[in-house]
Structure 1
Amino acid sequence: MAPLSFDATMSSLKDSFKSSGDIPRTLPNPALKVTADHNIRLEESPVLTPEKGEVLIHVKATGICGSDVHFWKTGQIGELKVLGDCILGHESAGVVIAVGNGVTNVAVGDRVAIEPGVPCGKCHYCKSGDYNLCHDVAFAGVYPYDGFLQRFMVHNAEYVFKLPDNMTFSQGALVEPLSVVMHAVERAPLQFGRGVLIFGAGPIGLISLEVARASGATPIVIADVAPQRLEFAKEFVARCKTYLVDIRKTPEENAKQIRKLFGESEYDAPAKILECTGVESSVITACFAVQRAGQVMVVGVGRPVMNNLPFMHISLAEIDLTFINRYHDTWPAGIRALSEGVINLDSLVTHVFPLEQAVEALTFSSDVRNGSIKVHIVDDEVVQEEM
């Protein structure tokens, strides 16, 4: 990815960051904001001074997530509602340019990937290790907590992680969606030599596909309603099988056809399914496709209520229908997997926009006709590599 041009005034500021730690208030800090009335706009945002335990980061790469589009278009995801202006973005990496008192894990100049959720650290869930379930988590890009689609962002230093020299900022930003999949397979472990079925060939489904390949699961089948996304999946992981979901058929009929891709016997049917769409009909199809006593892990975000789940089929087949809420303790392992080449997600980033075109980037990403997989919004790398 070629570096983009950057305002020359930024280059002259790097020494002041290093020497004094003072944060000039005149720094340009464009930020992509969503409003309660479903508008998005790029406007200047103040540059904050990191307090004790915090760092100031120049955000270098941020991926657009489907949740960013949902907050813009619908104003909410479940109980999470946009009630005022909020800066979007939570899939990011950047460079530390100032540190507050007490910060020892990172220093000015460190390249870092950023975990967006900062839990309270005091509740039962935080103390038990399930901090992703904390009721009081401050999650970047979810109102009222501003996200990373801005040039400069203050964040809790405990939730930033150094990137090795062989990783790009783009790869660092991919650790967040990778973490979603890592948490899913932690709760629904894939089995070496056993089949896995993935519903949805969007970014999370495709990352699941690559993680499944690396795990040794086989055969791997990925299903979607969009033929172009299945074509991409086949190029991304060559040994996967694909199934184009026929929306004219019932979930039972589609499930029957999918099972044939695994073999003829009951034993061959997938015991693990990663449902990465959250679409009700897809969840139902997964419940009919999975082996008895198997597990359907719902990774995708769906509607608040699903009325048509086949309850008695799930019950009689002893199917485990399970869910995830984000992730916990995944960044070090995710960084290691990417830096050591265990998995490769680079080709998922199909389109790149500069920060100044963040509105255009979100608009482009929201239109499925554009064929994007993962859109990244970037700020020039050259200046920060010199800092």
Structure 2
Amino acid sequence: MKHNNPSLQVTADQQIKMAESPIHKPGNGEVLLHIKCTGICGSDIHFWKTGAIGPLKVEGDCCLGHEASGIVLKVGEGVDELVVGDRVAVEPGVPCEKCWLCREGRYNLCEDVKFAGVYPYHGTLQRFKVHPAKWLHKIPDDVTYAEGALLEPLSVVLHGIRRAGLTLGRGAVICGAGPIGLIALLSSRASGAHPLVITDLEASRLAFAKKLVPECETYQVQRNLSAEENAKSIRKLFGDSEYGAPETVLECTGVESSIITGAFAVRRGGTVMVIGVGRPIVNNIPFMHLSLGEINLKFINRYTDTWPAGIAAVKGKLLDLKPLVSHVFPLEKAVDAMHICADLSQGSIKVQIVDEIDINPEDVE
């Protein structure tokens, strides 16, 4: 039985399409995967709608997707840590492992990284994908493929929490109740930060957050108020004292006004950790407010060494990511899934694309 390889691709003129992709043989150190589940990320929508994220531009047809899990179908030479049938989560970035950043263990900053779903490197929204075994992580039998795919956005949050230095018993604000913000809320609770406040423009998303973490407080950002005025209202949820003000802000939108709000909401000596992806240039940052308050404004770029911790957290039931999956589509309907994800009126949280067919490895050429 011969299998085809349908894939979702974005084009240089900002279109999306289903196309047939080749099935590659795994080389030295590589395996061939059957991708079972891929989540749609905001960056996938961004590449489609704008054609670029900062300097990363779509210059030709490229298969999207990087939040993925799958099963090993074939192993190449030199692979001894994985065997056919292993269930794995995909770490989508493959760094050069030669530059000084890689040697320091900061491979997320490698300038020569080959990142799945970023042109010209094809992503996981296809049935079959070759990937280096080193950047695959076995998932336990009681961790689903859906959870395995959610380990990538969880990794983004884990890296942000590490760099922010989230503290047990200290307050935190999460800006944005999208998928990353909701995972940040769950992770902050599991890390012991308290009290927790999550903000958003949309009441429906805040209601979802409250259902997900009942002990959190929610704040609906008011468009008619300035960032400083919104920040003042957020601070009131933590009490009256400066000491009780939030020590950490996890900014999960990348929106300029939200970053500024976070800067005014955090206490002196605190940290604003920008996790969200925003415009290439952000203006109007309150420089002297940050300076006089010794407020740390920090950023992340993806993640390093987060999958083992993520897998342990999911397996150990420290946080339940499954409620975040609001829509599931078969691979053949991936274009429809992208449209649902891009339309805010549809109320999606995390849209996943699955391929549930069973494949005999011997049938794949």
Q: How far did 1:374 drift?
A: 0.2
Aligned CA-pair RMSD: 1.2
Equivalence map 1:242-281=2 (5 Å): 242-281=218-257
CA distance in 1, matches of 2:88, 2:221: 40
1:314 to 272, 278, 290: 290
- Residue 207 of structure 2 corresponds to 231
- After superposition, what is the alpha-carbon deviation per residue over 1:243-265, rounded to whole angstroms, capped at 9, x for unaligned? 00001000110000000000110
* Partner-residue secondary structure (3-state), 2:130: strand
- Residue 111 of structure 1 corresponds to 87
The 1:384–1:265 alpha-carbon spacing in structure 2 relative to 1, beyond 3 Å, is farther
**Aligned partner letter, 2:305:** D
- After superposition, what is the alpha-carbon deviation per residue over 1:292-342, rounded to whole angstroms, capped at 9, x for unaligned? 111000000011111111111111111100000000101111111101111
- Residue 15 of structure 1 corresponds to none
- After superposition, what is the alpha-carbon deviation per residue over 1:261-286, rounded to whole angstroms, capped at 9, x for unaligned? 00110001001000000000000000
2:279 to 303, 307, 314: 303
The 1:162–1:381 alpha-carbon spacing in structure 2 relative to 1, beyond 3 Å, is farther
- Residue 214 of structure 1 corresponds to 190
Q: How far did 1:223 drift?
A: 0.4
- After superposition, what is the alpha-carbon deviation per residue over 1:352-373, rounded to whole angstroms, capped at 9, x for unaligned? 0000000000111100100000
Q: How far did 1:27 drift?
A: 2.3
**Aligned partner letter, 1:83:** E
The 1:372–1:27 alpha-carbon spacing in structure 2 relative to 1, beyond 3 Å, is same
Determine if the alignment matches structure 1 residue 192 to structure 2 residue 168. Answer: yes
CA distance in 1, matches of 2:227, 2:11: 38
- Residue 34 of structure 1 corresponds to 10
Q: How far did 1:384 drift?
A: 7.5
Identity of aligned residues (%): 61
- Residue 68 of structure 1 corresponds to 44
CA distance in 2, matches of 1:128, 1:288: 34
Determine if the alignment matches structure 1 residue 368 to structure 2 residue 335. Answer: no
Q: How far did 1:382 drift?
A: 5.4
CA contact (8 A) 1:27 1:47 kept: no
Count of residue correspondences: 362
- Residue 114 of structure 2 corresponds to 138
**Aligned partner letter, 2:352:** H
CA distance in 2, matches of 1:216, 1:323: 22
2:55 to 55, 79, 90: 79
**Aligned partner letter, 1:325:** N
**Aligned partner letter, 1:277:** T
**Aligned partner letter, 1:215:** S
- Residue 317 of structure 2 corresponds to 341
1:332 to 308, 311, 317: 308
Question: What TM-score results when the alignment is normalised by the length of structure 1?
Answer: 0.92
CA contact (8 A) 1:95 1:384 kept: no
Question: What TM-score results when the alignment is normalised by the length of structure 2?
Answer: 0.98
